[in-house]
Amino acid sequence: MIERPDSVVGSISRNLDGYVGFANLPNQVYRKSVKRGFEFTLMVVGESGLGKSTLINSLFLTDLYSKEYPGPSQRIKKTVQVEQSKVLIKEGGVQLTLTIVDTPGFGDAVDNSNCWQPVINYIDSKFEDFLNAESRVNRRLMPDNRVHCCLYFIAPSGHGLKPLDIEFMKRLHEKVNVIPLIAKADTLTPEECHHFKKQIMKEILEHKIKIYEFPDAEEDEDRKLIKKIKERMPLAVVGSNTVIEVNGKKVRGRQYPWGVAEVENGEHCDFTILRNMLIRTHMQDLKDVTNNVHYENYRSKKLAAVTCNGVDATKTKGQLTKSPLAQMEEERREHVSKMKKMENEMEQVFEMKVKEKKQKLKDSEAELERRHEQMKKNLEAHYKELEEKRRQFEEEKMTWEAQQRVLEQLKLDASKTMEKNKKKGKIF
Amino acid sequence: MAVAVGRKASQSEDLRNLNLSGHVGFDSLPDQLVNKSTTQGFCFNILCVGETGVGKSTLMDTLFNTKFEGDPATHNEPGVRLKARSYELQESNVRLKLTIVDTVGFGDQINKDDSYKPIVEYIDAQFEAYLQEELKIKRSLFNYHDTRIHACLYFIAPTGHSLKSLDLVTMKKLDSKVNIIPIIAKADTIAKNELHKFKSKIMSELVSNGVQIYQFPTDEETVAEINATMSVHLPFAVVGSTEEVKIGNKMAKARQYPWGIVQVENENHCDFVKLREMLIRVNMEDLREQTHSRHYELYRRCKLEEMGFKDTDPDSKPFSLQETYEAKRNEFLGELQKKEEEMRQMFVMRVKEKETELKEAEKELHEKFDRLKKTHQDEKKKLEEKKKEIEEEVSAFNKKKALLQSQAQQAGSQPTKKDKDKKNSSFT
């Protein structure tokens, strides 16, 4: 007899009377994760000239985009491309394989219909790769090339979202974590920026676009922080590749005749918030949401399409909770019972027909027997009649013959007497 | 590795190593990961295999500094059964869901041929449950309660000589399914010099029989050293006790004998501390990982291959999961259809057979009656002939009579009217 741990009943709580040591588990996990290294795929989407490459360089404090590796705005082709660059960066013993995916040509044509399609195709192909790798019989360590986050750059018009922005985000929000950013935010005054943000959020709500949401924190102070961040969405960012000296400090910024817009100054723009959120606190969560939500959505849709092929729609709902193999098993069982039923039916019909036929045969046999009997009886009756007749006839014959004999005798006697009488002369 | 299908050529496929000009902050990634794991809670499942009374429950209590449930088992169990219990433990901020699986009745039967079977079945059942979840269309792996066995403590009875054949057989069956950590139970019954010989004997027997026990990992520099030193002491000779005895001015877990006090946590007395160190403090996470990436993958691979799934076709193009499912499904449906056809054919044949049978019977019947009819007709004919005969005789007789009568009349001898009447009357 095998018992499975009864998680329905619930496990029992126990207090420990001394140090056991499994509090060390987090350290073990830490160690192993550092050894494995980390991967992250970041997608940047937006029209050319919005400062995407500069922002990436500022975020990661490295020359990801440079003269040798120009940014998307320098690489515009005739159609929208989706291209990636992989870099390996190390910090504090932690290795990160960072993949930046950009989309040169996005939104830059005169007719931008379907310019999101290559992006969707790219994301789906990464999901498909992962699904296939996960579904192999022989699985090896699977690299996670799925897109974990998409930074969408909104032009700082100050008014609202463009139709292209809305269309893109609507199509992508269920495939990837979308984080909208207001690009080149140093062209907006704080009031304009505030108004712009409100307008954007209003439109996002209107169009039911699901942008990436920060998970609620456990502790109160974190919760307050997150609330503050949420109020500043979408983040208005400024990027810079140059370091300028301001008040004796070296800062990244953009030098204008009227002053320096500092990238890392929280009052100038939301860059710091973006960096902290994207890299320092929520990078892992972005990966988790991609894995647990977006990928699972893709997977279940893909697999439902396969296994529910040819099955009518009324059955599909219940089948989503089963693995395709279990489903095949069930189908097999269903079929076996169907066959049994069919067999029984056919057997019944067969028996019935046979019975019928046999009965008919019996009946006609009986009928024929009957007739035969009747005819026999008839014949016998005739025979008897005939016998009777013959007997009668014989009797008659005999009687008549006897009579004849008697008559003959009488005759003889009579003639004799007559002779006698004649002789005697009495009769003439 | 999974091969992507038709990906657009990327600009830089090679991995560039870049230097950072400042603190980006992704070195917090391991912490982010650890925080997430800690919030979720950890899970660990231990299987204790050993004879009744060898000290399994006591050792668990001692290891985890608490009193787990359970009454001591009797020796009367008819077979081996597995009993699993889950407990919620907490140490500082780390929550651990511990499941202890006990083999009740192990080693008590006279015929122990099948003793290992329930254990193997249990382990496989947990793998199967995980596999089913993983294959579902709508699945939730991230909050799945993992019931797979992460570590198997095999309790060797302290005979002092060698392993029992039951031990070898059981461990051989389990070594490809679970991480086996062999321990010598109730080690306080073995003297020091015997212990060393006993350990060597056990290890050499394991090696010569090809039993693969769990290897403490030596690939990470932080733990390589300690794991290497500890491995030398395998199998750990342990003593368990939940009772405390005053030693010096401290209370310590110990067993009190007339000849001395065996201290559980004294490394000179037994290897309990080593076991705790290896099992819980250093390698718990590795045990879990090995179970998932090695033992579970092996089970999964075998199961899928059993069902006929394979990875590549002769052209070495990897099948996508959908294609495999579809192919399987079509094959499966084809099979079912074939079966249906076969059944139908069988019925058609039977019907034909029966028809011929019945037709035969009908024919026979008709023949029979044809014969009867013939016989009947023959009889009738005979009857007719006889009738004719009689009639001829009668008419002949009548003629004769008539002739005689007329003769008699002609002859003039007047037979009396009385006789005439007599004659006449006899013919009516």
- DSSP string for residues in A316-332: HHHHTTS-HHHHHHHHH
Pick the closest to residue B103 from B87, B88, B116 (CA basis): B116
Would you list the DSSP string of B85-98? EEEEEEETTEEEEE
Mean of per-residue pLDDT scores for chain A = 83
Q: Report the range of poorest mean pLDDT among A413-427, B250-264, B341-355.
A: A413-427
**Contact flag B135-A326 (C-beta cutoff 8 Å):** yes
**In whole angstroms, how far apart are CA B334 and each of A310, A332, B313, B338, B340?**
14, 12, 20, 6, 10
- Contact predicate A407/B415, CB 8 Å: yes
Question: How far, in whole angstroms, is CA A367 from its chain's centroid?
Answer: 67
Q: Give the strands of the sheet with B180-184, arranged side by side.
A: A12-13, B81-91, B94-104, B42-49, B151-156, B180-184, B236-237
Q: Which of A93, A326, A379 sits opposite B383 (nearest CB)?
A: A379
List B residues 143-202 in contact with A (Cβ-Cβ < 8 A): 145, 147
What residues does B45 pair with on adjacent strands? Answer: B99
Query: Does B89 contact chain A (CB < 8 Å)?
Result: yes
Q: pTM score, two decimals? A: 0.71
Question: How distant is the alpha carbon of residue A224 from its chain centre?
Answer: 40
Query: Could you report the predicted ipTM of this complex, rounded to two decimals?
Result: 0.71
User: With contacts defined as CB-CB under 8 Å, which chain B residues touch A400?
Assistant: 401, 423, 426
Smallest CA-to-CA distance from B132 within B120, B148, B149 is with B148
Give the orientation angle of helix A295-307 with respect to helix A117-135, to 10 degrees: 70
- The pLDDT tens digits for B105-149 are 888 888 888 888 999 999 999 999 999 888 888 888 888 889 999
Q: How many angstroms separate the most distant Cα atoms in chain A?
A: 210
Chain A with chain B: Cβ pairs closer than 8 A: 391
Number of Cα atoms under 13 Å in the Cβ half of residue A40: 25
Please tell me which residue of chain B has the smallest CA distance to A326.
B132
Nearest Cα to Cα of residue B346 among A324, A37, A95, A343 = A343
Identify the bridge partners of residue B43 per DSSP, sorted by sequence position.
B97
Q: Tell me the shortest Cα–Cα distance from B232 to chain A, in angstroms.
A: 22
Of the listed ranges A233-237, B169-173, B320-324, the least confidently predicted one is B320-324
Spatial distance between the Cα atoms of B402 and B392, rounded to a whole number of angstroms:
15
A92: helix, strand or coil: coil
Q: Is B309 on the interface with A (CB under 8 A)?
A: yes
Return the bridge partners of B359, or none.
none
The nearest CA of chain B is from the CA of A164 a distance in Å of 23
Instruction: Out of A7, A86, A131, name the one closest to residue B86 (CB).
Output: A7
Model confidence pLDDT, tens digit, residues A406-417: 877 887 887 777
Q: What is the pLDDT of residue A1?
A: 31
pLDDT at A202: 92
pLDDT band at A6 (very low <50, low <70, confident <90, very high): very low
**Closest by CA position to B363, among listed A79, A365, A194:** A365
Please indicate whether, in this complex, the C-beta atoms of A38 and B26 are within 8 angstroms of each other: yes
Residue A320, min C-alpha distance to chain B (Å):
5
Which range has highest mean pLDDT (A59-73, A260-274, B8-22)? A260-274
Q: What is the pLDDT of residue B404?
A: 78
- Residue B416 pLDDT exceeds 90: no
Helix (H, G, I), strand (E, B) or coil at B199: helix
CB burial of residue B225 (10 Å; 0-12, 13-18, 19+): exposed
Asked if residue B240 has pLDDT above 50, the reply is yes
Where residue A3 falls among pLDDT bands split at 50, 70, 90? very low
Query: Could you tell me if B138 lies within 8 Å of chain A, comparing CB atoms?
Result: yes
Answer whether B397 sits within 8 Å of A84, measured CB to CB: no
Structure tokens at B231: 């491995």
| Best-predicted range by mean pLDDT (B43-57, B62-76, B335-349) | B43-57
Strands B236-237 and B260-263: unpaired
Give the pLDDT mean for B309-336. 62
What is the structure's pLDDT at A323?
A: 62
Judged by CB atoms closer than 8 Å, whether chains meet at A393 and B401 is answered as: no
Phi and psi at residue B75, to the nearest 5°: -95, 10
Give the pLDDT of residue A236.
92
* Position B316 pLDDT exceeds 50: no
Chain A hits for B251, CB-CB cut-off 8 Å, are none
Q: Give whole-number Cα distances, B118 to A82, B81, B164, B302, in Å.
A: 54, 6, 19, 19
Please check the confidence at residue A133 and state whether its pLDDT lies above 80: yes
Higher-scoring residue by pLDDT: B72, A238 = A238
Residue B412 reports pLDDT greater than 90: no
CB contact (8 A) between residue B365 and residue A364: yes
* Confidence at residue B3, expressed as pLDDT on a 0 to 100 scale: 33
User: Above 90 in pLDDT, residue B49?
Assistant: yes
| Contact (CB<8Å) B30/A33 | yes
* Burial degree of B14 (CB within 10 A; 0-12, 13-18, 19+): exposed
Which residues make Cβ contacts (< 8 Å) with residue A283, sequence separation at least 6?
A: A40, A148, B26, B29, B32
| Tokens matching residue B44 | 């660990």
Residue among B129, B276, B365 whose CB faces A365 most closely: B365
Nearest to B413 among A276, A386, A411 (CB): A411
DSSP B318: B
Q: What angle do CA B250, B251, B255 make, to 5 degrees?
A: 130
User: Which pLDDT score is estimated for B320?
Assistant: 53
How far, in Å, CA of A106 to CA of B116, rounded? Answer: 63
B294 contact A CB<8A: no
Percentage of chain B lying above the pLDDT 70 cut: 88
DSSP string, A153-198: EEP--SS---HHHHHHHHHHTTTS-EEEEESSGGGS-HHHHHHHHH
Which residue has 């001829």 as its token pair? B392
Distance from CA of A155 to the nearest CA of B (A): 26
B127 vs B346: CA distance, rounded Å: 42
Residue of B97, B126, B305 lying closest to A11 (CB–CB): B97
CB atoms within 10 A of CB A274: 23
State the pLDDT confidence band at B5, using cuts at 50, 70 and 90.
very low
What's the confidence (pLDDT) of residue A319?
45
Read off the pLDDT band of A196 (50, 70, 90).
very high
Arithmetic mean of pLDDT over chain B: 83
CB proximity B302 to A under 8 Å: no
Looking at the complex, report in whole angstroms how far the Cα of residue B193 sits from the nearest Cα belonging to chain A.
30
Q: Residue B144's closest CA among B300, B292, B322, B293?
A: B292
Which residue in the set A1, A13, A20 is minimally distant from B64, CB to CB?
A: A20
Contact B364/A at CB under 8 A: no
Instruction: Report the C-alpha gap between B301 and B307 in whole angstroms.
Output: 10
Q: What is the mean pLDDT of residues B377-388?
A: 85
